[in-house]
Amino acid sequence: MNRLMHKIFLGLTLLGFVAFTSCEVDVVNDPNNPSLGSVTSDASKAEMQTLVTGLEARHRGYVTNAGQMFGVFGREAYAYFGSDPRFIQDWLGLGGGAETYPDFFASTGTYSTPYLAVKQANVLIEAAENSTQLTTEEVFGYTGFAKTIKGFQLLWPLMQQYENGIRTDVSDPLNPGPTLSFDAALASIRDILDEGASDLDKAGSTFAFTLTSGFNGFDSPATMAQVNRAIAARAALYAEDWGGALTALNASFMDLGASTAADLMAGPMHVYGNAPDVNNPFYYPLDAA
């Protein structure tokens, strides 16, 4: 009995010792999954620049998937991949049952990647509007740029889904807005672009952020507004608003009387690079396997 009591006493003593002398566990934030709250509540200009750069990176995301798929649909390209012949058979409607697949082959990326850019644009807008470290003009510069890119990106899933419609209000991913018809979604996109143009008109003469060389010549509020109107003209054409398209074109950077190749090539572009950036997805060395 004494031996049992001794063991119990010893065990309780050791337990108490461990409980009162053990180390406290520090809470460590996952550096690979930072909270949005760190940039949506009083972001610094350095943090805002990071968001802008991230939006430019996301802005390129649609290029590969949309370029390949729409190119095949339009019979302007053939996506030859030795790993999977469906890129030819299904996209050209040659495969058995290709038109009745419940999930059309390899179309997810074309739909999802623009929404990643839209998400980034929404974060940039929220961060700018909640920052006390920016002037009013600077806030309008950020939001005008973000809404311009947002409107452009939403056109891609709409062109893919057409009469199926899309969601344009996705600011809350857990409670998104309704799926809109083609006409309603297009009207919503045009409203977003108009809001962006209005913001840019109130953004002063310079941006508080830096863009890549892809926006050379379009890196001020005034010239970004011209880009915005070029996108708005495209949306107006889809809406068959011919007068609205002409009005937007006249306010854009496009020269309707262009007579040279340089005039026809005017406009912003996507830029690529070597690691840690990404390579141009449409660059293939001649005679490469």
What is the DSSP code string of 160-184? Answer: HHGGG-B----SSTTS--PPBPHHH
Q: Measuring CA to CA, which residue among 62, 152, 150 is closest to residue 110?
A: 62
- What is the model's pLDDT at position 104? 64
pLDDT by residue (tens digit) across 153-178? 999 999 989 999 999 999 998 999 99
In a 13 Å sphere around the CA of 282, the CA atoms on its Cβ side amount to 15
Give the span between the Cα atoms of 98 and 89, in whole angstroms. 8
Q: What pLDDT does residue 92 have?
A: 78
At 7-60, the pLDDT tens digits run 565 666 666 665 555 566 677 777 777 777 778 888 999 999 999 999 999 999
Model confidence pLDDT, tens digit, residues 94-140 = 766 656 665 666 678 888 999 999 999 999 999 999 999 999 999 99
Q: Please give the CATH number for the structural domain made up of 35-264.
A: 1.25.40.390
Q: Using pLDDT thresholds of 50, 70 and 90, give the confidence band for residue 274.
A: confident
Helix axes 108-129 and 63-73, enclosed angle (nearest 10):
140
Ranges of each domain in the chain: 35-264
Q: What pLDDT does 94 receive? A: 74
